Amino acid sequence: MDLKQLMQKLAQIEERKKPDPEEKLQGFDSRSMRALAKIKAQYPNAPDDLAALLRHVTNVDKDSDTADEKHIKKIRDLEERVTTLEKKLTLLLRKK
């Protein structure tokens, strides 16, 4: 095999390695495809689908953390109120 044939063979192998842009999303159901299209529209500067998904997950995670902090604060406030009411109830029961 001469150098020219070898180079042609390498070129053919490289062509097979390149993913077809239409095939990269194959295998998803229609609901997932719509969700992915929506996410890609939210992050138009993302270089590929995975980058858009990662950015979306990061933002959802931040939003979730913020919501968790709000709920934790509400729970702590309610626990303090219950503790205060228990103390008041105890004092009332002692007076009787």
pLDDT (mean) for 47-52 = 86
pTM of the shown model? 0.47
- pLDDT class of 79 with cuts at 50, 70, 90: very high
Instruction: Say how far apart CA 20 and CA 92 lie, in whole Å.
Output: 77
Q: What angle do CA 29, 30, 35 make, to 5 degrees?
A: 100
Task: With CA atoms as reference, report the closest residue to 41 among 30, 29, 53.
Answer: 53
- Chain segment 26-43, per-residue pLDDT in tens: 557 788 888 888 888 988
Q: CB within 8 A of 56, min separation 6: which ones?
A: 39, 42, 43
pLDDT value at residue 90: 93
pLDDT (mean) for 8-18 = 74
